[in-house]
């Protein structure tokens, strides 16, 4: 493989591994903050134990996620130096803000939260975890603003052979970035909710700590309902935006080859990229694709054949990643509402099939989120900055053997981290909450007094 392919593969593996940690961090910290806030409001010790238990899992995930993020950012200098030279004036600004503001905010207050139990007032301690939640989500804001600029470049001029920043506010208020942010963050909330639901289901199936995990399940279920619906709404808005500013990506997502007005949506469709068409195309809903794209049933959708061959994204991968992601999104909404119905009817503990499905559903949001990034990044190809710089022009002028060596190192190192993360999460999740054991009182049998 050449240096471009190897560099793309290394970055894809790096961000893929990193994104196994980030989404859980985004949502789980909010759930922990909600639980601790309930403890402050009600003084119910159960909520304190919930915050400690789920907080322990958050800390494990957070610590390992930091390591993978650092490696990813270094690659802009090692593997993508031409990209960094060309657009570093713009791309570097949000990443610098993320590192110097958001990361220090979350890491500082996380230390306060970890070591502040019984040292700070309840309200101040709860404030600390909310600051961690704010910092974690602010990190996502700045990283996605950087990526959103790559998807839809704004606020720049071409000068002296490179892109230079002239309007920072245009970059910060980029519509594409904010739609990506809310869609991505809400996806992380869904993942976190299903993580809590799945672990709670594990213990409920075994009738362990029933009160604890029934409350955890209820809180996560409400979170899942609102976030899964939010993902669907933001996904629709994001799809419309993609159709507007990245029409080639949208055409690949829907496997539309011919430009057409009032484009239908086919429920059963199999692309044939080699022959520039679809092998199967049936069960069409008239004009639905045009309506979803532009909220106009008679809108024109530009087909892939109207784009030069060298500027078309890989259709099969983009199409199937998008369809599976959407299907999983529908599944998350359905399972959330089924859980709400079962809880309302007080039938949750009797619904062992549903609880087993929730347990086995823990990996599915991870799959859905990474498929979403496949759509976003593969669908943008061959551009690294859409319409401005191609991926092939962005790599560092280094031998392919160097990239191959570091690629092997990254795979080995990240695999060790993932195994460690899974081992620790499974170990402490199975252990359940660390309930304090009552102090044993010894009675002296000869006197009848406590000893």
pLDDT in tens, 368-417: 998 998 999 998 989 888 988 888 888 888 888 888 888 888 888 888 88
Q: How far is CA 34 from CA 55, 152, 340, in A?
A: 11, 35, 19
Q: Which of 183-192, 294-303, 375-384, 416-425 has the lowest mean pLDDT?
A: 416-425
Over 80: is that where the pLDDT of 314 sits? Answer: yes
pLDDT band at residue 224 using 50, 70 and 90 as cut-offs? very high
Q: Which pLDDT does position 85 carry in this prediction?
A: 84
Q: How far is CA 112 from CA 50, 101, 121, 434, in A?
A: 18, 17, 12, 21
Q: Is the Cα dihedral 195, 225, 293, 255 positive or negative?
A: positive
Alpha carbon distance 261, 373 (integer Å):
29
Alpha carbon distance 217, 332 (integer Å):
15
Q: How far is CA 187 from CA 139, 225, 240, 288, 365, in A?
A: 16, 12, 18, 25, 8
Q: Which pLDDT does position 83 carry in this prediction?
A: 86
- The closest alpha carbon to 66, from 102, 27, 33, belongs to 102
**Contact criterion met (CB below 8 Å) for 186 and 332:** no
**Contact criterion met (CB below 8 Å) for 192 and 136:** no
The continuous run of DSSP H or E covering 277 comes out as strand 277-285
Alpha carbon distance 181, 147 (integer Å):
10
Q: Which two tokens stand for residue 41?
A: 């409001």
Length of the chain counted residue by residue: 451
Q: What is the DSSP string of 203-256?
A: HHHTT-SHHHHHHHHHHHHHHHHHHHHHHHHHHHHHHHHHHHH-HHHHHHHHT-
**Contact criterion met (CB below 8 Å) for 159 and 89:** no
User: Which letter, b or e, does each residue of 386-404 get, where b requires 16 or more Cβ atoms within 10 Å of its Cβ?
Assistant: beebebeebbbeeebeebe
Over 50: is that where the pLDDT of 448 sits? Answer: no
The string of pLDDT tens digits covering residues 93-127 is: 888 888 788 878 888 888 888 898 888 888 999 99
- Number of Cβ within 10 Å of residue 27's Cβ equals 30
Q: Which pLDDT does position 439 carry in this prediction?
A: 37
Q: What is the DSSP string of 8-70?
A: HHHHHHHHHHHTTTHHHHHHHHHHHHHHHHHHHHH--HHHHHHHHHHHHHHHHHHHHHHHHHH
Q: Which pLDDT does position 442 carry in this prediction?
A: 42
**Contact criterion met (CB below 8 Å) for 82 and 395:** yes
**Most confident among 85-89, 293-297, 320-324, 385-389 (mean pLDDT):** 320-324
**Contact criterion met (CB below 8 Å) for 307 and 248:** yes
pLDDT band at residue 438 using 50, 70 and 90 as cut-offs? very low
Alpha carbon distance 423, 255 (integer Å):
40
- The closest alpha carbon to 415, from 15, 12, 7, 17, belongs to 17
Residues contacting residue 16 through CB under 8 Å, at least 6 positions apart: 370, 373
**Contact criterion met (CB below 8 Å) for 76 and 149:** no
């Amino acid at each position: 493989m050449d240096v471009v392919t190897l560099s793309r593969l290394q970055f894809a593996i790096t961000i893929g591994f990193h994104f196994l940690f980030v989404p859980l961090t985004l949502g789980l910290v909010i759930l922990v903050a909600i639980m601790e806030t309930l403890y402050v409001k009600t003084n119910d010790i159960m909520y304190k134990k919930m915050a400690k238990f789920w907080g322990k899992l958050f800390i494990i995930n957070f610590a390992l996620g930091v390591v993978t993020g650092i490696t990813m950012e270094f690659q802009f200098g090692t593997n993508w130096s031409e990209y960094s030279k060309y657009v570093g004036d713009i791309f570097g600004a949000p990443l610098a803000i993320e590192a110097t503001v958001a990361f220090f905010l979350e890491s500082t207050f996380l230390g306060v939260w970890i070591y502040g139990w019984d040292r700070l007032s309840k309200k101040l301690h709860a404030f600390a975890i909310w600051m961690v939640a704010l910092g974690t989500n602010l990190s996502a804001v700045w990283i996605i603003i950087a990526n959103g600029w790559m998807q839809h470049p704004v606020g720049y001029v071409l000068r002296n052979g490179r892109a230079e920043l002239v309007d920072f506010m245009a970059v910060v208020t980029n519509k594409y970035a904010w739609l990506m942010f809310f869609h991505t963050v809400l996806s992380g909330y869904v993942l976190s909710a299903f993580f809590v639901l799945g672990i709670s289901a594990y213990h409920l199936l075994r009738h362990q700590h029933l009160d604890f995990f029934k409350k955890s399940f209820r809180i996560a279920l409400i979170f899942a309902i609102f976030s899964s619906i939010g993902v669907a709404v933001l996904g629709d808005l994001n799809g419309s935006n993609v159709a507007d500013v990245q029409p080639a990506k949208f055409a690949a997502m829907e496997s539309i080859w011919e430009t057409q007005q009032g484009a239908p949506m086919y429920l059963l469709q199999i692309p044939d990229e080699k022959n520039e068409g679809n092998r199967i195309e049936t069960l069409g809903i008239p004009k639905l694709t045009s309506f979803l794209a532009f909220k106009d049933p008679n809108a024109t959708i530009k087909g892939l054949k109207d784009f030069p061959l060298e500027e078309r994204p890989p259709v099969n991968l983009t199409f199937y990643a998008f369809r599976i992601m959407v299907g999983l999104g529908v599944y998350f909404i359905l399972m959330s509402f089924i859980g709400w119905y079962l809880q309302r009817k007080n039938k949750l503990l009797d619904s062992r099939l549903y609880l087993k499905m929730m347990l086995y559903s823990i990996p599915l949001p991870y799959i859905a989120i990474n498929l979403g990034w496949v759509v976003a990044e593969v669908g943008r190809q061959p551009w690294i900055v859409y319409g401005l710089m191609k991926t092939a022009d962005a790599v560092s002028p280094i031998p392919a053997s160097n990239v191959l060596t570091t690629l092997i190192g990254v795979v080995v190192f990240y695999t060790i981290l993932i195994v460690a993360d899974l081992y620790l999460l499974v170990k402490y999740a199975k252990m359940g909450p660390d309930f304090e054991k009552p102090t044993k009182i010894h009675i002296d049998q000869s006197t009848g007094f406590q000893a």
